[in-house]
Amino acid sequence: MPVITEIEDLRRIYARRVPKMFYDYAESGSWSEQTFRENSSDFDKLYFRQRVAVDMDNRSTRTSMIGQDVAMPVALAPVGLTGMQCADGEIKAARAAERFGVPYTLSTMSICSIEDVAEHTNAPFWFQVYTLKDDDYMQRLFDRARAAKCPAIVITVDLQVLGQRHKDLKNGLSAPPKLTPASIANMMTKVQWGLGMLGTKRRFFGNIVGHAKGVTDPSSLSTWTAEAFDPSLNWERIRQFKKMWGGPVIIKGIMEPEDAVQAVNVGADAIIVSNHGGRQLDGALSSIRALPSVLDAVGDKVEVHLDSGIRSGQDALKAIAMGAKGTYIGRAFTYGLGAMGEQGVTKALEVIHKEMDISMAFCGHTDINTVDRSILHVPKGFSGDWES
């Protein structure tokens, strides 16, 4: 087994073991990929303040996210097609998160269904939904999540229309994927991946096929996905979704103070500062740069979490220091999953936890709940000094 000391080690193995189509799906952004890159590189502009002669014993990263106890303030983000990165990928990732003691968020566009993941796990998982037109399907989706004892819904609000991702178009990555001679030839070189996929019955979108109206098989899926998303979304519609669900709601995709205030007004229990990993509006601010103005707008009226760009425990710690109450990893756990399956997701969580724990200690803290902006050197104008 290779020695894994950082998330980048997992990414390199992942790149070798997973078909190019699915690697590119994870490791890309829209248009020029500026936002995709800056989501990570902007963390490098924040510097830690090292403290010495401080008792570092009895450290704890334990805290809570929307009232749920967590081993560290890191959740697994919803990632579509996870079950194509590794056979039964959603089940494996959810199991790893459960053992580690952090939340797992299942995507509507998962390969394994809500019921599949619930059957193979014990800890409740969060469930992510899109803002779709079909009320009947949405209500049944909420009912299925409730039956699976999901404690919270994550509503993604930044995907009314799909951002253009050049690599996906060139690879034929869609729902369902369009196989080409080049992609088939590449898949044939990924023997371990291929054997895993041959050994599972879960190869299609388990929350949609057989559940959405008119989608009885994978061939009818593309028509549904082209028509299902609602470009006319507004805040009243989000309020309706919250009522249809009837439980805690996390709104994902907030980047501007005005939208954060609107999310509070419709009753969000938490909001996620997120630009969809740089996969929607390219040229937008990185999430970490957008975080301070969102926090200024909502104060302590709602929990504010951060997603997009986190590749290390140090990144997560910086987000917490800047005021986020929780963070999400998507690509980081996907690398682990594609590299080494369930064991790889566990390794990704271990790496991030160790980096967070040790860095916190070097900054003079032994409890993640006491970490604040005082552990950072934040450059002037980090969040921007923009003309009105």
Paired tokens of 254:
């907030």
Q: Does residue 213 contact residue 227 with C-beta atoms inside 8 Å?
A: no
Task: Report d(CA 332, CA 341) in Å as an integer.
Answer: 13
Task: Report d(CA 340, CA 10) in Å as an integer.
Answer: 8
In sequence order, what are the residues at sequence separation of 6 or more whose Cβ sits closer than 8 angstroms to the Cβ of residue 283? 31, 32, 34, 35
- Select from 87, 364, 373, 34 the least CA-distant residue to 202: 87
305 carries an active-site annotation? no
CA atoms within 13 A on the CB side of 24: 17
Q: What angle do CA 69, 74, 79 make, to 5 degrees?
A: 120
Q: Which residues on adjacent β-strands are paired with residue 377?
A: 47
- Burial per residue of 187-199, b for 16 or more beta-carbon CB atoms within 10 angstroms, e otherwise: beebeebeebbee
Paired tokens of 373:
């902006």
Q: Which residues on adjacent β-strands are paired with residue 367?
A: 60
Q: Does residue 333 contact residue 349 with C-beta atoms inside 8 Å?
A: yes
Q: What is the DSSP string of 26-94?
A: HS--STT-HHHHHHHHGGGG-EE----S----S-B--EEETTEEESSSEEEPP-TTHHHHSTTHHHHHH
* Of 276, 305, 353, 365, catalytic: 276
User: Quick check: helix, strand or coil at residue 252?
Assistant: strand
Provide the annotated active-site residues. 276
